[in-house]
Structure 1
Amino acid sequence: MSTKVDTLMQSIETWLKQLAAELEEGHTRGFLDFLEAMGRFHQYSARNVALILQQRPSATLVAGIKRWNELGRRVRKGERGIAILAPSLKRVEVEEEDGTVREEKKLVGFHTAYVFDVSQTEGKPLAPSAENSPEGPALYARLRAACPVPVREGLLRGGVHGQTDGRGIILAADLSAGDRAAVLLHEWAHVLLHYGGVEPPVTVKELEAEAVAYAVGRHLGLSMEGSRDYILHWRGTVEGLETSLERIAGAARRILEAYGRQPVPEGSCLGALERAQKARGVAA
């Protein structure tokens, strides 16, 4: 690996140690800030989200020069790029059991790539993001329709807001639409992360699920007010934190992609914004 890649890897390692130390001491602000950034930059890995935050904490929307040019914007002269890690792939031949040979791409390392925040660009205005305009009932309905397992409301034992067995989700019927959306995100994360594979300790499971819910919920405009105390309560061990962060990033990405594929109800301000965005050919 190049010296630049080594430097980026080391900065990630240092950041992870600092984040782990903060969580051990009961401080969640840094973790919550990272999760909010993960929601904004859900197309990037957890490592690259950390690198973006380290270099430009105020970043809100990033892309490479080619993508900005496609959107009708140009990076201003003299702006410094945000260094991230991009995979280096090599084509290799793989022989199948029947003797046929196919080509596949194999990861052989990483190289440095650069992105720029929208504040570093100028040109054609971008349409407002529809995802940050929550409407309680409309948002919940859209999330429920996007969820890969059946969701229903029902009576749960005292203090329990939601539960899942991996095949379906039950939400407390007395929750508001906004709270129902937040709890649905938490249970949806459990479905994606904690069924059908190696089961981590309950502290890790709950931390991962609420972290996914917070990242997605904040991106969609929910307040997620109870997440800090919940994460603080379930922070448990921080061993393997980097692995959990990548799992959290992957689950958040899958939920937001499923949400984005759902049609928006007619008459909703969400729908109006998204239809305007599509008409202009602008995608964040």
Structure 2
Amino acid sequence: MATKEETRAAREARLEELHGQLTGAVEGLVTGDDWARALSFAARFRSRSFNNTLLIWAQHEQAFEQGRVPDPYPTLVAGYRQWQALGRQVARGQAGYMIYAPVTARFASANPSDPMSWRRLAPREKRKAGEVERSRMVGVKPAYVWDVSQTDGTPIPEPPAPTLLEGQAPEGLWDGLATQVKAAGFELTQVPDAASIVGTNGLTDYMAKTVSVRSDMPEAARVKTLAHELAHVLLYGPNNPDAVRHRGVAEVEAESVALMVGAAHGMDTSGYTVPYVSGWAASVKDTSPVEVVKATGERVRKTALGILDRLDTMKVGDGTPPGLDKAATVDGPRRTASRKPPAPPVERERVGAGEPAAAGRRL
């Protein structure tokens, strides 16, 4: 039987292996096309952290290349006992995909408003009279999940998914996004053409608290532009503590949020134009490109998830098998801090980020 030291060493080795796999996956996101493809995939596994999405993607791709799974992309992913609860069993010889799982601990305080007053409780310790108890994430550990194609048993029902024609927007998506813009305190206006908003598809003015979108674009392009501008509203602004972002990162994040919102509704993401990831990530001072990409990916996922949770629209699945408690599959986020210069007072979506226009630069 392994000692505590041996168990700890084995866990640390697996975490080091995970870190290496994740770093390799992130380093592979070197172009806008690679980034867009990864985000489109992440939109279909949005209940999991960005890091874990990349780990699942990379390991499933390896399993496909080795002939262990029939399809190049996973569809539904869950843990060993979760599949058993759904009447399915992991097939013999199928190795799971290693991901990060949160480690939580209980804390108690008699003065919750004082951050320094919280103390960690022992495993069986109870809080004292008058204390408040809360759980917090204190670390990560390795865990394993399997794709449905690696299991046998009771058939999994196929959830309904939106079907869109070319240029069509999902029903109710414009209204849902517009409601969120207005809820943030911004006035939404539709302008006749790009010339009305200095040659762009959309424009967010933080000082005037307005969002403008061109009305002379196809329906899908207008919705995508509105999602891009909503991302600017939620992520930036002079009064937002997170506003001090590198301009290149800010534009990539806004377009990436729009991409994930669209992909979650079954929209074609091939028209999204995102700059080379290696370029903007390398331009952030005092932080490695790998850490910038990981932090940005999780920031994008959380922002897109917040938007999607407030939308009463039909969406594609999120990678969780029907019948499972989704809260049990959500991974704890891993945050990365970075130093960031101030954002400008006006953010805009460049012409070319959605539908083609006669003039202007591409995003």
TM-score under structure 1 normalisation?
Answer: 0.79
Decide which of 296, 304, 310 is 1:244's aligned counterpart.
Answer: 296
Which of the pair has more CA radius of gyration?
A: 2
| C-alpha displacement of 1:35 | 0.9
Structure 1 gaps of 5+ residues are 265-269, 275-279
Do the aligned partners of residues 164 and 53 (structure 1) sit closer, same or farther apart at CA in structure 2, a change above 3 Å counting?
same
Tell me the distance in 1 between the aligned counterparts of 2:19 and 2:278.
Answer: 28
Matching of residue 118 in structure 1 with residue 122 in structure 2:
no
More displaced, 68-77 or 249-258? 68-77
- For the residue of structure 2 that corresponds to 1:10, the secondary structure is helix
Q: Which amino acid in the other structure matches residue 15 of structure 2?
A: V
Q: Deviations over 1:86-127 (max 9, x none)?
A: 110111222306994211223221111111112223322322
Distance in 2 (CA, whole Å) between partners of 1:226 and 1:216 is 14
Whether 1:85 aligns to 2:100 is yes
**Deviation digits for residues 252-280 of structure 1 (CA, Å, limit 9, x no counterpart):** 22122222xx166xxxxx8xx99xxxxx9
User: Paired residue for 1:7?
Assistant: 17
Q: 81, 89, 94: which is aligned to 2:109?
A: 94
Which of 168, 181, 196 is matched with 1:149 structurally? 181
Which amino acid in the other structure matches residue 147 of structure 2? D
1: CA distance, partners of 2:249 / 2:305? 19
Secondary structure at the aligned position of 2:269 is classed as coil
Corresponding position: 1:48 with 2:52: yes
2:224 aligned residue (169, 173, 182): 182
Query: 1:71: how far off?
Result: 4.3
1:1-284 matched pairs, under 5 angstroms: 2-19=12-29, 22=30, 27-57=31-61, 58-96=73-111, 100-122=130-152, 123-131=154-162, 133-134=163-164, 139=170, 141-146=172-177, 147-150=179-182, 151-155=188-192, 156-157=196-197, 159-165=199-205, 168-195=210-237, 196-199=240-243, 200-228=245-273, 230-232=274-276, 236-238=280-282, 239=284, 240-259=292-311, 262=312
Could you tell me how far apart the structure 1 residues matched to 2:110 and 2:205 are?
40
Distance 2:191 2:232 in 1: 19
The offset of 1:149, in angstroms, is 1.7
Q: Secondary structure at the match of 2:280?
A: coil
Q: Structure 2: how far apart are the matches of 1:32 and 1:205?
A: 16
Q: Secondary structure of the equivalent of 1:56? A: helix
Q: Return closer, same or farther for 1:283/1:170 CA change in 2, 3 Å cut-off.
A: farther
When structure 1 is superposed on structure 2, of 237-246 and 135-144 the one drifting more is: 135-144
Deviations 1:215-251 (A, max 9, x none): 23223222233323x4349953444222211111111
Helix, strand or coil at the partner of 2:105: strand
Aligned residues: 262
User: Cα distance 1:149–1:70, how it changes in 2: closer, same or farther (>3 A)?
Assistant: farther
The alpha-carbon deviation at position 281 of structure 1 amounts to 6.0
Shift of 1:29: 3.2
More helix by share: 1
Provide the C-alpha distance between the structure 2 equivalents of 1:246 and 1:125, rounded to a whole number of angstroms: 29
1:188–1:63 distance in 2 versus 1, CA, 3 Å = farther
Residue 143 and residue 43 in structure 1: after superposition, are their counterparts in 2 closer, same or farther (change >3 A)? farther
What root-mean-square deviation, in Å, do the aligned CA atoms of Structure 1 and Structure 2 show?
A: 3.1
Identity across matched positions, percent: 28
Opposite residue 246 of structure 1, the aligned amino acid is E
Q: Secondary structure at the match of 1:139?
A: coil
3-state SS, counterpart of residue 124 of structure 1: coil
Q: TM-score, normalised by structure 2?
A: 0.63
Task: Report the alpha carbon displacement of residue 11 of structure 1 after superposing the two structures with TM.
Answer: 2.1
Question: SS of the residue aligned with 2:18?
Answer: helix
Quote the Cα distance in structure 1 between the aligned partners of 2:171 and 2:306: 17
Match of 1:277 in 2: none
What is the DSSP-based 3-state SS (H/G/I as helix, E as strand, rest coil) of the residue aligned with 1:161?
A: strand
Separation in structure 1 between the aligned mates of residue 25 and residue 143 of structure 2, nearest angstrom: 20
